[in-house]
Amino acid sequence: MTPLPVETSSPLIETHDLRMTYRVGRGRVLRALDGVSLAVQAGEVLGLVGESGCGKSTLGRCMLRLVRPSGGRVVFDGIDITAMPERRLRPLRQDMQMVFQDSYAALNPRRPVGDLVAEPLRVHSAPGGGRRNGVEIARRLVELMDLVGLPQAALARYPHEFSGGQRQRINIARALALSPRLVVADEPVAALDVSIQAQIVNLFMDLRDRMGLTYVFVAHDLAVVRQISTRVAVMYLGAIVELGEADAVLHHPAHPYTAALIAAVPEPVARTDGLPPPLRGDVPSPIAPPPGCRFHPRCPAMRDRCSVDPPVLRRLPDGREVACHYPVLGAEPDLMPGLPAFLATGPAAGRPRH
């Protein structure tokens, strides 16, 4: 077998077997995250995709410790922050920020933009300790407006005077005020029209280049995710089903769910051929997920074993990780150098259950 890729630097953020459960009455438990392990290297953009309710936002909130996970670990820059009290988290918070979908709800309508963007600068102390003075804050505000492509006059105006795209620029300016290292963006372009969406996606890409940011970019739109991500994690019912290089995962999906998700995206091109048959059924409730492989009731490749034996995430020769007993492999053999014959031709042997 070819050697597994070796991770050289230590990741900026990592999760180990992360779990989040919610009590939903009558003794029932909803597993929003059911053992998520991943690592994001500095400078990387990890795209998080999946259908609504699969746990994307929950994962993002756990990574930034906006909520406390029920189990597993979150490690930021080598420091375990899973159970860290808020007082000790505070200095770290400057380094990790979040941008949300709803650009309006995130901004207090009664305060001018300058106040809103300056807020983190007032709340947190300067890098050398001590408060920033008015001149420092004013200077930083000018820089920030420039960075996100808004005129300085915007600082004196109120959120309702801006369009959705401009409001998202304001939110981004606020998230970047303290020069964070990690930004978790939760569906930041989902509410925007396509012509505006392109502007904001470009802005995210420019900012990453200019500031060396690391993103976890949550979106249900696969094309947007492919545009911005270096790696992609596909989630289904609280677990990662496939994780790997963006182009590898989205061009040659190995997990049947990833393949179905891609096939379901309506593409804005003139069609000459027929459409693939749609996937059956709805996403099941995370309160009572199906036994075995969670995807088996909808999976076109399902076999007997799938309904009893839950597949674990395992690494394939090309470096990606897949949770499926029978991954689709070898569509483009040259993309999978060193692929063992048994993997290329037949069902792969899964690891034993634990």
Partner 1 sequence: MEGDTLLAVRDLTVALPIGGRLVPIVESVSFTLGAREILGIVGESGSGKSVTSLAIMGLIDVPGARVSGSVRFRGRELVGLAPRTYRALRGREIAMIFQDPMTAFTPVYTVGWQIDEQIRAHQKISRKEARSRTVRLLGDMGVPDPEQVAGRYPHQLSGGLRQRAMIAMALSCNPALLIADEPTTALDVTVQAQILDLLRGLRRDYGSSVLLITHDMGVVAETCDRTLVLYSGLVAERGPTGALFARPGHPYTAALLDSIPPLHGPRPKRLPSISGSPPTPDERPAGCPFALRCTHVHEACAVRPPLVACGEQDVACVLPTEGRPLPPRFVPEFCA
Ligand X SMILES: Nc1ncnc2c1ncn2[C@@H]1O[C@H](COP(=O)(O)OP(=O)(O)O)[C@@H](O)[C@H]1O
Give contact residues for partner 1 (rule: CB under 8 A): 51-52, 163-165, 193-199, 201-202, 205, 220, 222-224, 226-227, 247, 250-251, 260-272, 275, 277-279, 281-283, 298
Please list, in sequence order, all residues whose beta carbon lies within 8 angstroms of the beta carbon of residue 53, skipping any fewer than 6 positions away: 283, 286
Shortest Å, Cβ 97 to partner 1: 23
Shortest Å, Cβ 303 to partner 1: 21
The single-letter DSSP state of residue 92 is: H
How far does Cα 343 stand from its chain's mean position?
A: 29
Whole-angstrom Cα Rg for the chain: 22
Helices (H) and strands (E) in the chain, counts: 10, 12
Q: Which is nearer to partner 1, 12 or 150 (CB)?
A: 150
Shortest Å, Cβ 215 to ligand X: 16
The identity of residue 289, as a single letter, is P
- CB atoms inside a 10 Å sphere around CB 129: 6
Q: Which is nearer to ligand SF4, 224 or 259 (CB)?
A: 259
> How many residues bind to ligand X according to rule CB under 6 A?
13
Kindly identify the residues of this chain, within the stretch 112-151, that bind ligand X according to CB under 6 A.
Answer: none
Work out which of 32, 45, 57, 310 binds Mg ion, going by CB under 5 A.
57
Pick what 82 binds: partner 1, ligand X, ligand SF4, none; C-beta below 5 to 8 Å, kind-dependent.
Answer: none
The label of the residue with tokens 């990574």 reads: 63
Give the interface segment with ligand X, choosing from 53-61, 157-165, 261-269, 319-327 (CB under 6 A): 53-61
Kindly identify the residues of this chain, within the stretch 163-182, that bind ligand X according to CB under 6 A.
Answer: none
Counted residue by residue, the chain has a size of 354
Shortest Å, Cβ 321 to ligand SF4: 14
Q: Which is nearer to partner 1, 123 or 263 (CB)?
A: 263
236 binds ligand SF4 (CB under 6 A): no
Shortest Å, Cβ 295 to ligand X: 15
256 binds ligand SF4 (CB under 6 A): yes
Asked whether 153 and 141 are in contact (CB, 8 A), the reply is no
The single-letter DSSP state of residue 259 is: H
Binding mask 313-342 for ligand SF4 (x = CB under 6 A): -----------xxx----------------
Q: Which is nearer to ligand SF4, 304 or 334 (CB)?
A: 304
C-beta contacts of 52-57 below 8 A and 24+ residues apart: 52/220, 52/283, 53/283, 53/286, 54/235, 54/236, 54/237, 54/238, 54/283, 55/20, 55/235, 55/237, 55/238, 55/239, 55/286, 56/186, 56/218, 56/220, 56/235, 57/186, 57/187, 57/218
Shortest Å, Cβ 195 to partner 1: 4
Please measure the distance between the N-terminal and C-terminal CA atoms of the chain and give it in whole angstroms. Answer: 23
Q: Residues interacting with Mg ion, by CB under 5 A? A: 57
Q: Residues interacting with ligand SF4, by CB under 6 A? A: 256, 293, 295-296, 299, 301-302, 306, 311, 324-326
